[in-house]
Amino acid sequence: GNSVTQMEGPVTLSEEAFLTINCTYTATGYPSLFWYVQYPGEGLQLLLKATKADDKGSNKGFEATYRKETTSFHLEKGSVQVSDSAVYFCALEGQGGSEKLVFGKGMKLTVNP
């Protein structure tokens, strides 16, 4: 079945540091890939997505590229801010739009000033 493996934390960075959160997946065909973010006390929010190979999703300075050859969707940000402190989840939806999301375990990021 479909599965997602992502970096586990927690991770602590200083403000303006570079961030990479690795995410790899196992799925048949061409799934859609997502990064969700959960700020303290709030629900998960869609951060970015990519629906086909080589697509790049981007939002709020975060980027992730759908790499079919390496089955990866790594999240990057060049300069993190304190406000980026949150839990980040990588997820996929199977090809054909089944609407079922499969999540990674999530990674807690803390950014210190």
Partner 1 sequence: GAVVSQHPSWVICKSGTSVKIECRSLDFQATTMFWYRQFPKQSLMLMATSNEGSKATYEQGVEKDKFLINHASLTLSTLTVTSAHPEDSSFYICSARQVMFYEQYFGPGTRLTVT
111 vs 98: CA distance, rounded Å: 35
DSSP conformational letter for 67: B
Do 23 and 73 form a contact (C-beta atoms < 8 A)? yes
Least separation in angstroms between residue 54's CB and partner 1 is: 20
Span 6-65, contacts to partner 1 by CB under 8 A: 8, 36, 38, 41-46
Nearer to partner 1, 28 or 100 (CB): 100
Span 57-96, contacts to partner 1 by CB under 8 A: 89
Do 23 and 5 form a contact (C-beta atoms < 8 A)? yes
Binding residues for partner 1 (CB under 8 A): 4, 8, 36, 38, 41-46, 89, 97, 99-106
